[in-house]
Amino acid sequence: MTPEPPRPAPPDEAALEPVELIRRSGAVLRTGRLALSAGTGSYRVKEHMSRVGRALGLERVAAHVTLTEITATSYRGPIFRTELTEVRSVGINADRLSELERFAVTLPREADLPAVEAELDRIAHKPLLYGTALNALWAGVACAAFAFLNNGGPVECGAVLMAAALGQSVRRTMLHRGVNQFGVTMLSAAVASMAYLALVLALSDLAGVSRNHEAGYVSAVLFLVPGFALVTGALDLARLDFSAGVARLTYALVLLASAALAVWGFSAVAGLAPDPVPPPGIDPALLLALRTLASFLGVLGFALMFNSPWTMAVGAAATGAVANVGRLVLVDADVFPQAAAAAAALLVGLLAAGVAPALRVPRITVSVPAVVIMVPGVTAYRAVYEFNTGTTAQALGYAVEAGLVIVALAIGLAVARMLTDREWTFER
């Protein structure tokens, strides 16, 4: 019998793999994942990935970005590699966005791959700037400022500060433990609402304060308004990125509905109604000064709650205070709220175009916190409340008003970007 010829040795599969392309593609995808998990829009995620890809010698990076997923293809010569990653924890981290912006912009033309990977490791493992207690305090300050801008008095503002801080501490603690985000939102809204009412009742019993302060309880849950997602989602739509924009807006609306339903349930049990509060009888000059201070503190609180460094937060607060006071003046002059919102957002975008480069931070970390204070969270909550009580006409009125203002804010920011950013003016 003739012996069988020896079989050829199997190929060295490791030697056949484009190892360098795999590593470089992985670094690009990781950059996008870090940016997406920090809450930025899809257009910024793609921009960071393209910059890192070019620095690592890739010819092109094509990416499809949604709210929680990135599919990216990296090209180098005749070969390419497609990878997919998923981000399950959606949140806001302005400090990480700033770090990634600085990292992507300062990369040399021929970057060293190990150095890029080491820098991504550093950014990924950088701890949050503020602990749970401080983060909760910033939320309380922001909501107390909101309460004043919604015509609340000292009692409402003080109770809102403590109630919102308690609700945010519950929210952050549970989110960091991986609890479902929508369930956490409902629980945090209920905790903040109950804490607000308990504080008002305690003040009425112990200090003889009137109990007629229930209308301010909606302001205690405004830290749950997904303003960042609403604004960035609308900006994604302005860039014709419908998959990311629609997903982000859907996420924001479901989050808002979760909080609003919890507030409505508590309102129904406690017998409260989020009726509009008449403006305080304050001297116009003093009212203007207090509105300026409240607008500054409101934006500052939200920016710090988004993990912004102090320099970035103060820049956003100054920008937001100027624009929001102008918006309130226009509304008092009987200008349509959506027109006033569009003008204010346009001003924010133009100011951010100068402030952000001076501070060496991404423009989105200045413009979005400055605009978040203009998001009509109280109006949106009132719409859900009226829907659940069966007052459909009133509910539709509130819903349309809130929706138009949000659209106007996005239009104002988008027009500002078109006027100051060539990439937004000319499609490529």
**CA dist., res. 341 & res. 410, Å (int):** 9
**How far apart, in Å, are the Cα atoms of 61 and each of 33, 66, 102, 148, 160?**
14, 16, 20, 48, 47
Query: Does residue 373 or residue 162 have the better pLDDT?
Result: 162
Q: Give me the mean pLDDT over the 3-15 stretch.
A: 55
Q: Which tens digits make up the pLDDT trace of 131-146? A: 999 999 999 999 999 8
In this predicted structure, what is the pLDDT of residue 253? 86
12 pLDDT band, cuts 50/70/90, is very low
In this predicted structure, what is the pLDDT of residue 372? 85
257 pLDDT band, cuts 50/70/90, is confident
Query: Does residue 424 or residue 332 have the better pLDDT?
Result: 332
Q: Is pLDDT of 211 > 60?
A: no
Nearest alpha carbon to residue 219 among 202, 203, 188, 196 = 196
In this predicted structure, what is the pLDDT of residue 170? 94
364 pLDDT band, cuts 50/70/90, is confident
Q: Is pLDDT of 386 > 80?
A: no
308 pLDDT band, cuts 50/70/90, is very high
Q: What are the φ/ψ torsions at residue 301 (nearest 5 degrees)?
A: -60, -45
Question: What's the mean pLDDT when you consider all of the chain?
Answer: 85
For residue 132, give both structure tokens.
């749970």
Q: Is pLDDT of 7 > 70?
A: no
Percent of the chain surpassing pLDDT 70? 90
Q: Is pLDDT of 210 > 70?
A: no
In this predicted structure, what is the pLDDT of residue 99? 92
Q: Is pLDDT of 392 > 60?
A: yes
Query: Does residue 281 or residue 309 have the better pLDDT?
Result: 309
Q: Which tens digits make up the pLDDT trace of 60-94? A: 999 999 888 999 999 988 888 889 998 887 888 99
In this predicted structure, what is the pLDDT of residue 13? 44
Q: Give me the mean pLDDT over the 174-187 stretch.
A: 90
- Which range, of 185-194, 273-282, 373-382, averages the lowest pLDDT? 273-282
- Is residue 298 within 8 A of residue 149, CB to CB? The reply is yes
Nearest alpha carbon to residue 347 among 421, 427, 419, 426 = 419
In this predicted structure, what is the pLDDT of residue 428? 55
- Is residue 93 within 8 A of residue 128, CB to CB? The reply is yes
Kindly write down the DSSP assignment for every residue of 196-261, as one continuous string.
HHHHHHHHHHHS---S--GGGGGGGGGGG--HHHHHHHHHHHHTT-HHHHHHHHHHHHHHHHHHHH
Q: Which tens digits make up the pLDDT trace of 213-240? A: 555 778 888 888 888 888 888 888 888 8
pTM of the full structure: 0.88
In this predicted structure, what is the pLDDT of residue 425? 66
Question: At 364, which helix (H) or strand (E)?
Answer: helix 364-372
In this predicted structure, what is the pLDDT of residue 391? 78
**CA dist., res. 394 & res. 276, Å (int):** 13
In this predicted structure, what is the pLDDT of residue 206? 63
Query: Does residue 226 or residue 276 have the better pLDDT?
Result: 226
Strands 79-86 and 60-65: unpaired
